[in-house]
Each structure stands twice: as structure tokens, then as C-alpha cells.
Structure 1
Amino acid sequence: MKKFLLSVAALAMSFAASAQVDVQHQRVGVVEQSPYFAQQSAVVHKAAKRIAANQRWVGYYSSDALAAAHKGMGIYNFPGDNKVAICLSEAILKPYVGKNIVGLRFGLCEEIGSSSISLYKSASSKPGDVCRSANVEKCVIGWNEVKFSEPYPIKAGEELYAGYTYTQLADNTDTKSYPFSAVKDGLADQPLWVYCKLGNDTGWYNFSMGGYNISIQVLVEGDFAEYDVMPSDFGTVKGAINSNVETSVEFTNNAVEAVSSLDYIVSVDGVAGSEQHVAISPSVGYNKIGTFKVSIPCGSTEGLKNVKVEVTKVNGHKNGGATIVAEGKLSVAANVYKRNLCIEEFTTEQCGNCPRVAGYLHGYLETADPNRVFAVCHHAGYYTDWLTKSCDKTLLYLYNDGGSTFAPAMMFNREPDFKSTYATGQKDNVVIPGSATEISKYASKYLDKTMADAKLDVSVAYNESESKAVIVVTGESNDAYDKESALLTLYLTEDNVEAKDQSGVSFGTTYYHQHVIRDFNSAWGDKVTWEGNKFSATYEFDVNSAWKKDDLKVVAFLNKHSTKSRIDNRIENVAGKNLVQNSTSIESVGSAYNVVEVARYNAAGQRISGKQKGLNIVKLSNGKTLKVMVK
């Protein structure tokens, strides 16, 4: 059997905060397999009654896969007369607009007696009014199929929920406490909606399935094309003039026959190329998602261009789908730069699940390129702790989740490429990775498949006698980069900081925080002063004697900040450098260690005896002059 590891007290505390502007959640719900369960073949393919040629099963997955009997899932911490439901998002329903939902099936691993099924309209991103329902007198282990008395027509832009009722038992040793089937099949990162009692309140709450999808599917009826592939829009691709840039286009197979080949046409600013053919291996089955690579010509002019990719044929036959064109943008510049990655983690000592997810990050970082991947930890999201900086709380703005914040969580270059955890149907900068492998997948995308319009370099000179670090950040951009919106953010971070009272670790275990922010320039970064397409900025940080110098690192990045949109705050590029260079460093500040300050002036040109808040002009013994911002 499987179970959710749920902290009742933590969840009750988080939902009790719903009156606040930011609802804080400790996102839990991690599936644990018992040794007995792990030794079994947990998934069976058990088809129910054969459906008609004009019908399709639609849900988080569409196959007949079920969890085996007595190997289900449940939430014994929340006993009572509960309901479970899936979200049929606009994206899931898009291929079926104009068709009808005529029934529902759900899979069980235990007998639950009687039940009822319902189709719900969406209200505030959760199940709302019931629009269709039916009773089930006696449920069976396996698939339970039920027809609605009246079909429901699917409308464009609509979001629905579908599910069933059951009685949740409280005995975690009884297999009957784990009644519903869930399998690792279909769409990724899909939530389970549960109607249950939490504290003194009863309502719909969002639970994580830990990588599994519950066995709930609606039966859609209508006229289906024999060959139907729907490509998805692919965002902005960057490339250099007089070159071709390659990108991946995701598609959904809405036809019964597996997709083994596609033909497509790429158009740039209305100019179409020749039809191209690509083999799809392995083939992509019905309602499965696949990808294919396309080559886009950048042309000989710079600028932002409109791109369309039309899927014309499926397995050599005309694509009969309603949506056969994917759209995106092409940003063309004279030159583009390799893009590094900044991973920002949200954590606190009150978060019992944070050590586990931090372990995923550290597992990935062990094999990541330290010259291209940098990490920063914000102690916020689920309350705060003694390591919280003011910038950590400010950056909670980047949660695009209906006012909710939570930990553990991560951002990857602050890209809004993820689904909101609680606000269904929205994009978010924040995600909860389920493994080091998942982090590696996200990281590979940004490191290998995206380019930057700007780059930057960091050099650090540490003056041990004065306990201060002088950081010089230089950079350059191409003409396509939005220099007016460019901001420069700096963090001084420390690794191996001993925790005071970390939740979620074994008694007597010493836990160490990584990537702790010790100092920073400003929450959103400072405006960059450009000289043409280049800039140079110098900062000075005091270094506390209690901080371990060998564990200190400077992380700097170019970012933007929008007060109008939470999902328009991306990091263009990032660089970093250890405070103290060693033999393994790829670059050394070299003679900077022997350089000393000989004079200092304020912005008015008056000589000053020491650091003064604001702009300081520093003359060095090697003849160079630095402009330093002192906080």
C-alpha cells in the first residue's frame, strides 16, 4: 500500500492563515512505498467495457492502467465522508471543445460500497457547482464506469473537475484506508483535489500525488479525426543572424493510432519554408505527449520575429485536428551568449519537508558544472527563521499562486515555466521538484536549450586585514537585449551554516544550511549604467569574522523586475566566484590580493577617511580607480 506523509498540525496551521495576504503552505504529500508494496507488480492493465469509435477516455492519463488490488492510495490522516477529483484544465479540454462528456470511470483498489460521481464547474480555481452527477450503488475493485443521464457540452476556455465520493478510514494499517488507484502514467505534476475536514473547516484542498495520477477519467463523445496531432506554443527562441536555431515543439496525440512520423512547415514573419519530415521514435500513443525538433532560419536581420510551426501530416496522412499550428517568437541578434543557471531555493527551519528537497538540490549540484550553475537560498515561503533577510520576504512576490506561498520550492532563472501549485491554470516561477533527476531535467533545459542576450563576469578581491570584499562585475550585451530594464543583483552566500532548530531531521542530527544569504545589494537589483553595450560595477561588502571565508561565494546576475506581472522577472544570465580562490578555481583574481587602497573620495570628489554610504571613488596602488557603492 501507499500513504501520504501528511503533517496534520502543519497543514492546519497553513490553512488557518488564509485570511492573510499571503497564505503560507508547507507543501507535503509525499508517497511512501512499503517494502511489501515495492516487491509487487503494482500496475495492471485492466480494460473495462469497450467504448465506441467516437468516444475517448480523458483525464490525467487515458490508458486502462490501474494499481493492483490492495495496493492503493489514501489519506488516513483525514478520515470521513470525502470526495476526490481531478482538474480538467483548459489545456486538457482544448482538443475536445464542441464534443460532449457523457460519463466517467474511476479505479479502486478496495471495495468502498456505494458512491456517486460528479462533474463540477470551476469556482476560484477549485471544484464549484455540480453540473452533472450520478449514483453508484455498489463499487467494485477495478474500473467503475457510470453514464450521465444527460451529456455535458465542452465549451472553449472552460475548466472542469471530475470525481467521486468515498469514506476515508483512519487506520493506517488497514488496506481499506488506501482505496483509490493511482499510477505513474500520463501528464506530470497534476494535483489531487480532496474534499475533507481540515481542523474546523471542511472544503476542497489541493494534495500532491508524488508523481502518481489518480485513476479518474471522463468519457468524451464526438466526431474525432482519424489523425489528429495538436502542437503547443513554444515561447521565445534566441538565435544569431545568418544561422539556424533548433528548438523542441511539444505535441499531443489526440488520435487512436500511435504517432511514428510528422510533417511540418516553419514560417518566419509569414514566409514559409518547405515541408519537412521527422520520424518520432519511440512512437507516441493516444493522449500522450511527445516532442519533435524543428530548425528555424534566423535570416540576415536582427529583431523579434513571429514563428509558426504547422503540423501538416501525421504518419503520412493529413492532420485533421482543430489546432495544428504552434506559435512562438524568434529573437535574432548579431551574437548570443551561453546562458548559465541560478537556482533559488525557498526554505525555513519551520519547514519539515525542506531538508528532503534540499537534499535533491545538493544531489544535483554534486554533478553540475560549478562555473555555470549557482544556488541561492531564501529563508521564506513557509514562515521565516533566524537566517531570513529582507530580500527573502520581498521575493515572495514571485509566487504567482493566488496569494499562496509555500516551502520547499525552487526557481530556475525565475522563468515562469511551471504550473501554479494551488491556483489552477496559471503559470508560475516557482516549482516543487520531486527528485534530483527532476532538477537535472529543468537545469538541462536552461543550460542546453536557451541562450542569453547578455553575459557577465565576476572578480573578487578580499582584504583580510580590513575584512572586506571588493567585487567587480563586468558585462556586455547584444543589441536585442532590453538594457533599459536591466538590473544587477548581487548576493554574498555562505555554505555549511549549522542550523539552530531545523524541522524534519532526526533527533540528535546536526543539519547544515547551504547557500545562505549573508549580504546583498538590493532586493530587485540596481539599475545598470551602460556604456554602449558594456558595463562595469563595483561593490564592497563587509565580511563578518564569524563567517567561514572558504564557504563564502559571490553570485551576481542580470535580471528584470515588473511590478505589473509576477511572471515577467526573468534572470538573463548569472555568474559567480568564491570569495577565497583556490587551486580548483577556473580563474583567479591574481594580483588583486596584492593591491591596496591608497585614497578614497565621495561622489563630490572630497577625500574621505573611510567608507561612506553611497558612491565611493577608490584609488588603488596599481593605478586603477574603482567606483564602489557602499550601503
Structure 2
Amino acid sequence: MLSASAANAQYLTSSVQLSKHNMVTAKAGNVKLHNVVDPSQVNVAKKSLAPQKLNANQKTVGVAGSGTMAGGIGLPSAGNKVKGVYNAMDASDLAKFKGAKIVGARYLIYASLGSSANVELYTIEQVNGKSTPTLYTSKAASSQKVSKQDQTTGEFDQQWNEVTFDKALDVNDVTNGLVLGYTYTQKSTQSGGKYTDECYPIAAGSGTSGVLAYGDLGQGTGWYQVSNEFVICIQLIVEKEGGFPDDLSIAQVATNPMLKPDEKLPFEFYVNNSGSKACTNASFDVLLDNKAVAELTLPKDGSISDEYVKLGATLDLSEYNLENGAHVLGVKVKKVNGEDPSGDTSDDVAAAQFRVYTETTPRQYNLVEQFTSTSCVYCPYGYEALRALAKSRKDVAWVAVHGDLDPNNPDPYTNSNAEPLIGYSTSGYPSANFNRFNLGGDQLATNIATEDYDGFATQMGNLLDQEDEIAPSVVNLQMETNLTVGDNPNLKDATLNITVKGKGVKGAGKILEGATLGLYVTENGVKSKQYSPNGWIGTYNHENVLRVIGTQAPWGDVITWNGDNFEMTYEVTIPKKQYNYNENKNTLNAVAFVSLPFVVTVDGKNYYNADLNNVWVNQCQFLELPKGQATAIKGVETSENATVVARYAADGSEISAPVKGINILKLSDGTTRKVVVK
């Protein structure tokens, strides 16, 4: 819906739902806010992309996400109607491997594919004016080593299986893209009303290029797009006589989201080499708003190979007279072995946004978006963890976003308008966004399945404080509401008229240019069944259930600023039977927030924002809705313009930047705050 087909082919849509099983987000209670504080030396990244054990003249290539397993998926409701699953690859994915041959493939599996499984490679050909997959070669998937999950860490021991094709394919001959995958036997075995592990044989990674299925999934036999939040873990093996020359690729630039114009800007980036040997001589241009301002050279003892390494430095912003607003820091390959870069140069540059500010306003509430499902076995743990967090502090605006996990037990609280947010944020339940900050992974949400509820509340509370410190609020929100509730919720809709006013500090309109306003209506006291480790709970209290997304676009409406302020008004219909309003029991709430957009519109088409580091929430307001009129002006009582004026370590020594451990912050209003930096 929000991402184009990787090979620009036309695929059918299916009512058959792809099911996920034991999907990994991040280990609960072990999350880290990405805060760059010091220059970095050359280090091997903790998670390399698809570590390889191949011949010296071979490489692997696959769609983004195909090298790291996140869990098992399947189509158990389709049974034998599905014949195979595949990834679609653009020709551009092979740009670095011109002159090479595709000689085989490697793949991960979560369970057996069946004795008749085959790995298949299709080329995309034009047939009657349509881009259509055409089988090029097929090889029996005789190796079926299963990748097992560590029950303590949740991580997978990736066991790659390989096949060698009987017929190689020249990369130069790939003009329209490829489809790579395998046929398999889809099982539909159930135990206790739920599908068993063998129904989820497909090893999946997180990726937006999606999964294709071939079979009869509702519109006759053909190709269907069945997911845009996963990819299958399968990759091509390419081979080139004499090996591959050095060709550097910059994967990501990271920096702090907001800084003052006289501060030092730390940054880091990841780079790898598609060459057969390690590159030991390279330099990079550092770009500020597309102008080269510095040069970074690989240390003498450093090297860059197919595993990503991390480089970093700092820039003194006081030298550049930057105005309030968004700016771009870029890194570009300058020299490789003393020569200008050659080969595929399309990925020789990467960039990150940061925002310059001079004034702040206190954060009113922190937005926590919980992703849960009534058929999720560990979701009660997530609920209890968030209850502990909400109990520990009064500035949490908690929104429970429900999704379907088991087709046989659909969740009654799903909201179709929330599907883009779920697809963008997470691949597993229970999980949650915390002000939509990227916590260091390849998705926003982090796993919240923990039984250490108090420890979780402490850690996430500290995390929220850190988020406020590195991206302080620059706009204050006020909500004015008028709620009209039907006498009988089963027969009459409720109507919420709401005006959201934003009052920004100096430069807020520039700092948050392009930001969106989000608006949720939630309900407490909703009771229904919930699956748990002990089976079904007949009556479970579901809190803060998302009922309505009030903005015109489900991902939020772009704010039109009037200088540094804005005002937006909505009439929101809360459908009958979707609320059971009772002032003593069930309660409706309004949550308004300003965030950088996770969906961007280009030429009238909507796309997911690929930069996970720039979708964070800058401000949030919460109001428990009474009947009739109400106004929410502030959240937690605090000084209106308090800012950090000094910072001290636990021993009392003054520090200029956050350090690990206890940090004591002195605010401009004379108060102090103690935070823990992980």
C-alpha cells in the first residue's frame, strides 16, 4: 500500500493473511537510545549485514532485511493453495556486481520446507505489456538446516543452506529485476486452537520490499503480494573471475537530532566494501547542507571489508552560523586507494538531518504506542509493564494499538487506519514506540515482554528523560474539546469537536517544518478475552484502546504554521458500538501530538520515511474527555521555559555532555533533575 513492488511487476492482492510466529523486535528491558556523544574509532559493527563464508571470488546479495532472521512466517490459512514464497529484487540491487554471474543461492528456514521444495530464480520479462516473472532455473532445496531461537536472548542461530544452480545467469543480462524464493509444503496443523510451529517454515527478516506468494489465494492461480513488512531470508550467490574490486558503500549516518548553534555536532556512519579484499586507504568528505566542510581519513591501522565498520568525528557548529531549523549532515566517499571512487557510486553518499534550536518548552506528555493483540500469548506481560510505567510517572500518554495475530481468533479492537503505523513500527507483539525514537534497531518499536515490571518502568522512565534531553520540545499544545455522546452507544455515534492549538518558541515553525499533527481517541475499561501463557483469560481489562484516528490522513496531517504557532480543528465521529461511554467506568481520552512524519508524500504518492531517526515526537498532550466542553492546557506542572544550564556527574564534577551513569541536571528555573544515562 505504501511501498512499490521491488521489480515494478503487477501482483494480485489476497484476503489470505500472512501469519507471523516468534518475531523478534528487541530484547525487552535491554534497549538503548541512539545518542552520539563522542567521536568513534574504526570498529566492526555488532550486527554485520549477512556475514559470509564463501569462496574468495564470491559474494551474496539480497533485498534489505534478508540477511538477519527475525522469526518465522507462514500462510497456514491457505494450506496447499500456496505453492511458494519469494522476494522481488530490482536490477539496481545488483549494480555493484556487473560482470559477475549468479551461480546459486542461500536461505534460512524456521521449519522444514518439505521433501519436494525447490529454490527458484525468475527473471522479470515483458509479456503482453506486463512485467511478469519467468522461471530461469530451479534447484532442489535438499539442505534444510533449521535456524533455532535462543529462548533466553530471543536471537536466532542462523544456519544458512546453500544451492548451486545448474545454469548461471550473467548479472549484465538482468535488466528488469529478479524474483528469488522457494516452493514449499504449507501445513495447517493446529494444537489447542492455534497453529503449530511447523506451520511457519519461512524464515523472515524485517523489510518493506515485501513477500510474494504464488498460488491460488482468492483470485485464481498467480502472484500475490502478501506482506510489506517482512522479507524472506534468501540471497543470491554471485561469482566473478579474479574477484571484485574495491567499491565502498555508506549505509547510514547518525547524529543527535537537535543541537544549539554553538554546540559540537558528533556523528558516525557505517561503511562496507564489496571488494574481495579489505580496503586500507580511503577518505571521506563531510558535507554540511551539501557543502564540503571537512575531510575524514581512514586510520592507518583501519580497514574496510564486507562487514560494516563504524567511523565518526565531531563538527563545531559555532563555525557555521546555522539558523534555527532543519539541516543536513552528509558523508561522501572521496578517495579509494588514492583514486576517485569507481564502480557503483550511487551509494557513496549518505546523510542525516539534525535541527538547530535556541529555546525550548517543557514536554507535556510522552507518547507511548503499544502494539498488542488479544491472541498474543505474551501481550499480558506488555500490558503489565506499561501499567508499571504509567504508575511510576504521570506524563505518559499510552495508546494501545491492536492488530490481528491469529486469523482464527481475530482481534475485535483492530483499526484499519492504524495498519500503516503497525507496518512501519513493528514486526512482533508485544512491542511499543516511545515517542517514536529509534532505539538502535531496524524498526521503531521495542519488545516489552518482560516480567520485571518495576525494572522496566525505571529503565523506560530514564529513557523518556533522555529523549527529552536530546530532542527537547519547542511547541506547547492546548486542546479544546466538546464531546456529544449518544444516549445508547449501540445505536448512536458520538461526536468530538476538537481544536488543537500549538504555541511554539522562537523558530519552532522552521525547526518543525513538515511536521504532522496526530490525533487519537482511546477508551479505557474495555473488557474481553485475552490469550496468555496459561491459556485464554475470559475477561481481561484492555486499557487505552485506540478507537479512532481523528486526522484526515491516518499517519497525521502536515501542520500549516502561522509563524511559530498553529491551530487545527476537527470533527471526529466515534462510531456506535465502538464505545461504551460511562463516566464512572469506561472513559474516552484524546491524545494530540506533533511528530516528524513517518509517511511522506512525493508527487501525490505516499511512501514510508526510510529515515527511522527522524520520525520522533516533539510534543504530546492528553485529555480525559468528559461530556460537554473541556480544555487541556498543560501536562505535568513545571516551569514553562526551564532549560538545562549545567550538567554534573555523580561525583559532582561538571561535564559538557551526557556520560554513562547518573547525570545531575541543573535547570534554568533553579530546580535539578537526576537522570540515568545508559
Q: Same fold (TM over 0.5)?
A: yes
Q: CA deviation at 1:300?
A: 0.7
Which whole-Å CA distance do the structure 2 matches of 1:537 and 1:75 have between them?
43
The answer on 1:241 being equivalent to 2:272 is no
Q: 1:308 aligns with which of 313, 325, 330?
A: 330
**Aligned counterpart in structure 2 of residue 573 of structure 1, from 609, 613, 618:** 618
Tell me, yes or no, if the aligned pair for 1:461 and 1:471 is still in contact at 8 Å: yes
Secondary structure of the residue aligned to 1:241 is coil
> Does the alignment pair 1:533 with 2:564?
yes
Give the % identical residues: 21
Instruction: Report if the CA contact (8 A) 1:357-1:435 is conserved.
Output: no
2:350 alignment partner, one of 323, 326, 329 = 326
Q: Does 1:273 align with 2:293?
A: yes
Change (3 A) 1:272 1:334: same
2:21 to 8, 30, 48: 30
Q: C-alpha separation between the residues in 1 aligned to 2:199 and 2:231?
A: 14
Query: SS of 2:322's equivalent?
Result: coil
Distance 1:193 1:93 in 2: 20
Query: Does structure 1 residue 153 correspond to structure 2 residue 171?
Result: yes
* Structure-1 separation of matches of 2:200 and 2:525: 43
How far does the alpha carbon of each residue in 1:451-502 deviate from its partner, in whole angstroms, 9 at most, with x for none?
Answer: 367322559999xxxxx99999663144262588777555554434223x67
Query: CA 1:333 to 1:226, structure 2 compared with 1: closer, same or farther past 3 Å?
Result: same
Give the Cα–Cα distance (whole angstroms) in 1 for the partners of residues 469 and 298 of structure 2.
19
Larger RCO, structures 1/2 (Cα 8 Å, 6+ apart): 2
1:394-415 deviations in Å (ceiling 9; x for gaps): 66687999xxxx9999877689
Say which of 476, 479, 502 aligns to 2:507.
479
Contact residue 357 and residue 433 of structure 1 kept, 8 A: no
- From the superposition, tell whether residues 167 and 519 of structure 1 become closer, same or farther in structure 2 (CA, over 3 Å): closer
Structure whose alpha-carbon radius of gyration is higher: 1
Structure 2: 5+ residue runs without aligned partners? Answer: 1-11, 25-50, 146-160, 451-455, 483-495, 610-614, 626-634, 640-678
When normalised by structure 2's length, the TM-score is 0.54
Query: Helix, strand or coil: the match of 1:245?
Result: strand
Deviation of 1:432 (Å): 9.5
Aligned counterparts of 1:510 and 1:398: Cα–Cα separation in 2: 28
RMSD over aligned CA atoms reads: 6.7
Give how far 1:266 is off: 0.8
Q: Which moved more, 1:313-322 or 1:556-565?
A: 313-322
SS in 2 for 1:79: helix
Q: 1:512 matched to which residue of 2? A: 541
**CA distance 1:257–1:515, shift in 2 (3 Å):** farther
- Distance in 2 (CA, whole Å) between partners of 1:341 and 1:488 is 15
CA distance in 2, matches of 1:445, 1:97: 49
Q: 1:133 offset after TM fit, Å?
A: 1.2
1:161 is displaced (CA, Å) by 1.9
Q: Which residue identity is paired with 2:541? A: Y
Superposition map of 1:16-55 within 5 A: 28-31=19-22, 51=55, 53-55=56-58
Does the 8 A contact of 1:492 with 1:518 survive in 2? yes
User: How far has the Cα of 1:117 moved from its partner?
Assistant: 2.9
Q: For residue 498 of structure 1, what is the aligned residue in structure 2?
A: 527
* Preserved contact between residue 301 and residue 332 of structure 1 (Cα < 8 Å): yes
Whole-Å Cα distance in 2 between the matches of residues 164 and 265 of structure 1? 43
**Aligned equivalents of 1:252, 1:165: Cα separation in 2:** 33
| 2:447 is aligned with 1:435 | yes
TM-aligned CA distance change 1:214 to 1:521, over 3 Å: closer
| CA distance in structure 2 between the aligned counterparts of 1:94 and 1:341, rounded to whole angstroms | 43
In structure 2, distance between residues paired with 1:573 and 1:253: 37
Q: Name the CA distance, whole Å, in 1 between partners of 2:394 and 2:113.
A: 52
Contact 1:29 1:208 in 2 (8 A): no
Once residues 64 and 123 of structure 1 are traced to their aligned partners in structure 2, the CA distance between those partners, rounded to angstroms, is 30
CA contact (8 A) 1:371 1:576 kept: no
Q: Which residue does 1:165 correspond to in 2?
A: 183
User: Once the 2 structures are TM-superposed, how far is the Cα of residue 268 of structure 1 from its aligned partner?
Assistant: 1.7
Q: How does 1:368-407 map to 2 (within 5 A)?
A: 374-377=397-400
Q: Are positions 1:195 and 2:199 aligned together? A: no
2:344 aligned partner, one-letter code: A
Q: Distance in 2 between matches of 1:259 and 1:437?
A: 42
Cα distance 1:210–1:362, how it changes in 2: closer, same or farther (>3 A)? farther
2 CA distance for matches of 1:377 and 1:363?
Answer: 13
Report the AA paired with residue 272 of structure 1: A
Distance 1:141 1:495, change over 3 A: closer
CA contact 1:266–1:308 (8 Å) conserved in 2: yes
For the residues of structure 2 that align with 1:103 and 1:115, how far apart are their CA atoms? 12
SS at structure 1 position matched to 2:96: helix
Report the alpha carbon displacement of residue 262 of structure 1 after superposing the two structures with TM: 7.6
TM-score normalised according to structure 1 size: 0.57
The aligned residue for residue 134 of structure 2 is: 130
Q: Please report how far the alpha carbon of residue 515 of structure 1 lies from its aligned counterpart in structure 2 after TM superposition.
A: 1.7
Provide the C-alpha distance between the structure 2 equivalents of 1:49 and 1:491, rounded to a whole number of angstroms: 49
* C-alpha deviation, 1:576, in angstroms: 3.1
Contact 1:100/1:221, CA 8 A, preserved across alignment:
yes
The whole-number CA distance in structure 2 between the counterparts of 1:216 and 1:397 is: 27
Distance 1:83 1:540 in 2: 46
Tell me how many residue pairs correspond in the alignment.
Answer: 517
Q: CA deviation at 1:534?
A: 4.8
Find the residue that maps to 2:136 and give its secondary structure: strand
Distance of aligned partners of 1:216 and 1:522 in 2 relative to their CA distance in 1, 3 Å threshold: closer
Alignment partners' CA distance in 2, 1:445 and 1:188:
30
- Residues 1:459 and 1:502: Cα distance change in structure 2 (over 3 Å): same
Matching residue of 1:598:
none
The AA in structure 1 aligned to 2:265 is V
The verdict on how the C-alpha distance between 1:159 and 1:534 changes in structure 2, with shifts beyond 3 A counting, is same
- Paired residue type of 2:104: G
Report deviation, 1:530: 7.1
Secondary structure at the aligned position of 2:94 is classed as helix
Inter-partner Cα distance in structure 2 for 1:165 and 1:381: 26
Q: Aligned pair 1:118/2:131, yes or no?
A: no
Question: Take 1:473 and 1:451, find their aligned partners in 2: how far apart are those partners?
Answer: 21
Partners of 1:277 and 1:530 in 2: how far apart?
42
Deviations 1:118-169 (A, max 9, x none): 2343999x99422621455x93556453235352325899642212334556
